Amino acid sequence: METIILADCGSEIGLGHLRRCLVLATALAGQGAICRVMTPESSGAEFAFAAGFEVEPWPENLATLPPAELLVADSYRLPLATMQGWSGLFGCRVLIDDLADRGIDADLVLNGNLYAAGLAYAAPALLGPDYALIDPAFFAQRGQERAVRRRALIAFGGTDDGHIGGAVAASLLTLDGQLRADVVISPLHAEPHLPDGLSRDRLKLHHGADMVALMGQASLYIGAAGSTVLEAAAAGLPMVVAALGENQRMNIQALRALGVTAFDAIDPASMAEAAGAALRQGDVPLQALVQPGGAERAAGAILAHRATQGNRA
C-alpha cells in the first residue's frame, strides 16, 4: 500500500510532528505499507534517516501531491479546502490532530493525547493514549537501573535554541549542588544561545540528541508539555513540564489532573523547586496510562479502515 506522510516541522514548529510520524511510518511499514515521508524543505532529514526513511520536500502546492492509497498528514497549517481537495487523490486520508479546534475533512482522525477522549470529531477517530505514537525504544528504558548520580534531562523541543533549557538548568543546578543535567538544544538551530554565566561543571550540552539514550540515564524529565511527555512516561521518568504555546494548554490541564506538576508558562525558579520535589517523591503518575504498542494499534486500525473504504484511489 503506497502511503504518503506529510509531517510538518522546522525551526519555528519543532520536531514533534515529524518524530511521531516516523514512529507511525515504521509501524505502517511493518504491516506492509510503502511510506514516502515529506516535510517542508526536507527539514528533519537526519531524524528520518536514522529511522530508516528518506525525506522528500513536500510540494509548495499541496494539491499537486501524487495520488496514493493512503495519506497521513500532521500539521496545524493545512487549510480545510486543501484537505477537501485530497478526497479524489487518496483512498484514505488520515489526519493526526491534537486540538479539534479547526475544520477537518478526513476519513479518519488520530489523536493519541491524554485528553483526546473528551474531544469531538466529525470523522471516525482513534482517540487516547492507546494510540499514542511512541517509539518502542522508550518503553525499553522503563524499570532499568538508573545511574547512582542523579541526572535531569532538560529538553524544550525543536524551537528552543538554548535560552529556555539553559535558564531552567541554571536554576536547578544552583538549587541542588549534587545534581547533574543534560540540556538538549534543537538541531534546527545552528548555534546554541545559553544564558550568560551558566556553569558547565555539572552540565552537558547536546546539540540534537538520542533521546532514548538520555532518558535511559536520566532521573527526571523537565521540558515542554508536548509529545516528549508521553516518551518520558514510557521511559518511567518523573517529570515537571511547562506550556510553550496555546496548543499545549489542554495537555497542561490533563497532566495536572493526573498528578503531574505542570506550569502555564516557563518559570525557571519554580520549576527547579518542583523538580527537587519530584526527584524526592519519584512518582510516575502517567506510567499506567502509557503502555507499549500504540503505534502498532494505530497502524492496524488505519489499514483496517482503509480496507472498508473500497476502491477509491
* pLDDT per residue as tens digits for the range 39-57: 999 988 988 998 999 999 9
Task: Determine, yes or no, domain membership for 287.
Answer: no
Q: Which three cell numbers stand for residue 95?
A: 489526519
Task: Determine, yes or no, domain membership for 76.
Answer: yes
Q: What is the rounded distance in angstroms from the CA atom of residue 55 to the CA atom of residue 43? A: 8
Task: Determine, yes or no, domain membership for 313.
Answer: no
Same-domain check for residues 116 and 145: no
Same-domain check for residues 156 and 266: yes
Can you name the residues that pair with 153 across neighbouring β-strands? 182, 221
Same-domain check for residues 141 and 128: no
Asked if 203 contacts 174 with a C-beta cutoff of 8 angstroms, the reply is no
Residue-number span of the structural domain to which 276 is assigned: 137-281
Same-domain check for residues 14 and 81: yes
Same-domain check for residues 129 and 161: no
CA 129 to chain centre: 13
Task: Kindly report the pTM of this predicted structure.
Answer: 0.90
Q: The domain spanning residue 243 has which CATH number? A: 3.40.50.2000
- Quick: pLDDT tens for 155-166: 998 778 888 999
Same-domain check for residues 182 and 88: no
Residues in contact with 167: Cβ distance below 8 Å, sequence separation at least 6, in sequence order: 195, 266, 268
Strand order in the sheet with 34-39: 55-57, 34-39, 2-7, 68-74, 90-96, 108-111, 125-127
Same-domain check for residues 155 and 77: no
- Quick: pLDDT tens for 260-286: 999 999 999 999 999 999 998 988 889
Q: Which three cell numbers stand for residue 49?
A: 534517516
Q: What is the rounded distance in angstroms from the CA atom of residue 73 to the CA atom of residue 17? A: 9
Residues in contact with 82: Cβ distance below 8 Å, sequence separation at least 6, in sequence order: 62, 63
Task: Determine, yes or no, domain membership for 286.
Answer: no
pLDDT confidence of residue 310:
67
Q: What percent of the chain has pLDDT over 90?
A: 73
Q: Which three cell numbers stand for residue 259?
A: 498528578
Regions of the chain with pLDDT less than 70? 146-148, 188-190, 195, 197, 199, 310-313
Rounded alpha-carbon distances, angstroms, from residue 119 to 21, 60, 102, 307: 21, 31, 12, 26
Q: What is the rounded distance in angstroms from the CA atom of residue 300 to the CA atom of residue 69? A: 15
Same-domain check for residues 102 and 42: yes
Q: Which three cell numbers stand for residue 180?
A: 547533574
Task: Determine, yes or no, domain membership for 86.
Answer: yes
Asked if 237 contacts 218 with a C-beta cutoff of 8 angstroms, the reply is yes
- Helix/strand/coil for 215: helix
Q: Which three cell numbers stand for residue 120?
A: 469531538
Q: Could you give the number of structural domains in the chain? A: 2
For CA atoms 225, 125, 136, 55, the dihedral sign is negative
